Structure 1
């Protein structure tokens, strides 16, 4: 009889313990980080963000997703198919406002900013034997301008318009980094324009394979664009093999962004952990070296998510 009572009490105690654990534990949340092609810089930066989340947010399981970059990312975020994304500020702005010329038939009103991150640089590379040295030299040549309707492709159209040119002046292919580089190696393309952080793997591979030249984007072309997101920039000498001089070009801010539907505390924790572990992001890719907490809430083209805003207020960056 005593043994039966003991067994009953033990079972009740075990059941109470298990109930208590179940009641106290939080359901695991999934966070998908949307990036770009695997040969670009969005992808390793996104991997770095997932590693930071996994190490510091025990109730969250994160994953990284390769995409066609900014345009696909804004649409996925709006549709609730991702929680964090990386994208070009000008295209994110166009999406939020609903710029039909760029392909956004209606405003994507759920987009919210997490941080101003690092700049993309428009990097126009030509085979050295193509005779291309200036933007005007691209006329009549075969050039790739990024994946169709990508942020890079939007940049390409904008820059050519600033230079008084259009796609009609060239034979245009719509291909991302890796495919463009392979076609250049095979001499099926004369040049490619890609918008990326400095030192991207695809261009390092190309520069190590054949002689190339970087085509400058002069400051007067940048001014003619008339968009504050497009700023004069420089590709420093020796960023790539054989590139011995600084190259003037355009730089465009990248954003970390999310959806208004993502909970405030989740975005707060993601923002906090990114900026408290920036060294880990730099390890993922050197482009992250220029990301700073002080710059994070500045110059954002879309509303700041309340979770990110809470963190910046705590740090005294927003009053």
Structure 2
């Protein structure tokens, strides 16, 4: 064997060793690990819980290296506290509560470091009373027991603010709010344990549709309080209408609307946020089907998050897709 052939064999052998080493390194690295994100939703059977489960299923079906784990909670206020504590990575919350958290307003003792991924849909404030009962206006709730949402929920916040705007939080004969879940509120109204029921959610809310089939109810208009709420808390509150036909209504009923945000801790990686939003916008019809009828999710709507800043990953997603 000549010296040239020997040199050539040495070079080829070295090359094969390098190739084998690179191949082994590539195989040992394997696919990127699945990133698991815990999502604070709401009570079982509620709209946040339904949205969270639908989102988890949509992400799993997408094939992305991402997993969403829905966590049942009392909803908005509780969710922001869990985000602050770091026990969850994502949360759903009503816009008014989210702004309270970011600004450090009551019930939050200091600002909470969270950001928004999207405004996903609008809640409608419902105020129901028995149709054959004596209450025909908010003012007539003075001195009466009112189901005003579970402790730690966004319903409790908006109900308290409406009662305050109506002058029923204090004075000689204030309303008497009871902290009750939606299911417990419906039972209490049906049994006569309360004279009115507050709820904030999509339209129609199945539990209220069921209640309206069992008990003739009247929906009290609340749009007259939107101005006072906006003056005190800003444009987070809007005037909307429960449409005719839902719940057996024969005409629209004006009420208070407030958005719902999908939120994240600031330390959730931008890449995970961008992947999640890709799924949200690909599957928004499925996500909203069980939450609110006829809603659409559009970018110009999604980025309207008021005082709550967009997460950098969310801002990058909207820029890359919509310019």
CA contact (8 A) 1:237 1:245 kept: yes
Separation in 2 of the partners of 1:218 and 1:24?
A: 57
| Greater mean alpha carbon deviation, residues 304-313 or residues 282-291 | 282-291
CA contact (8 A) 2:145 2:176 kept: yes
**How big is each residue's C-alpha offset from its partner over 1:147-205, in whole Å with a ceiling of 9 and x where there is no partner?**
12421111112112222221651222111211111112222121111111111122112
Tell me the secondary structure at the aligned position of residue 81 of structure 1: coil
1:184 aligns with 2:189: yes
* Runs of 4+ deviating beyond 3 Å: 16-22, 282-288
CA contact (8 A) 1:118 1:288 kept: no
C-alpha displacement at 1:22, in angstroms? Answer: 4.2
1:236 aligns with 2:243: yes
1:153 to 148, 151, 156: 156
**How big is each residue's C-alpha offset from its partner over 1:258-294, in whole Å with a ceiling of 9 and x where there is no partner?**
1111111000100111012222223343447232223
TM-score, length-normalised on structure 2? 0.86
Separation in 2 of the partners of 1:17 and 1:178?
A: 59
Separation in 2 of the partners of 1:79 and 1:22?
A: 36
Q: 1:287 to 1:106 in 2, by over 3 A?
A: farther
Q: How does 1:1-319 map to 2 (within 5 A)?
A: 20-99=26-105, 102-109=106-113, 111-166=114-169, 169-219=174-224, 221-225=225-229, 226=231, 227-240=234-247, 242-287=248-293, 289-317=295-323
C-alpha displacement at 1:103, in angstroms? Answer: 1.6
CA contact (8 A) 1:34 1:86 kept: yes
Separation in 1 of the partners of 2:140 and 2:131?
A: 12
**Computing the radius of gyration over CA atoms, which structure comes out larger, 1 or 2?**
2
**How big is each residue's C-alpha offset from its partner over 1:112-141, in whole Å with a ceiling of 9 and x where there is no partner?**
100111111110011123221110121122
Tell me the secondary structure at the aligned position of residue 132 of structure 2: helix
CA contact (8 A) 1:116 1:300 kept: no
C-alpha displacement at 1:304, in angstroms? Answer: 0.8
Tell me the secondary structure at the aligned position of residue 113 of structure 1: strand
Separation in 2 of the partners of 1:285 and 1:147?
A: 19
Partner of 1:5: none
CA contact (8 A) 1:126 1:191 kept: yes
**How big is each residue's C-alpha offset from its partner over 1:200-227, in whole Å with a ceiling of 9 and x where there is no partner?**
12211211111111011133x2112213
Partner of 2:12: none
Q: 1:32 to 1:57 in 2, by over 3 A?
A: farther
**How big is each residue's C-alpha offset from its partner over 1:6-37, in whole Å with a ceiling of 9 and x where there is no partner?**
xxxxxxxxxx9887444122222212222112
C-alpha RMSD of the superposition? 2.1
TM-score, length-normalised on structure 1? 0.87
**How big is each residue's C-alpha offset from its partner over 1:85-106, in whole Å with a ceiling of 9 and x where there is no partner?**
111111111111111xx22111
Could you tell me which runs of 5 or more consecutive residues in structure 2 were left unpaired when the two chains were aligned.
1-21
Separation in 2 of the partners of 1:75 and 1:57?
A: 31
Separation in 2 of the partners of 1:308 and 1:17?
A: 36
| Greater mean alpha carbon deviation, residues 277-286 or residues 82-91 | 277-286
CA contact (8 A) 1:163 1:224 kept: no
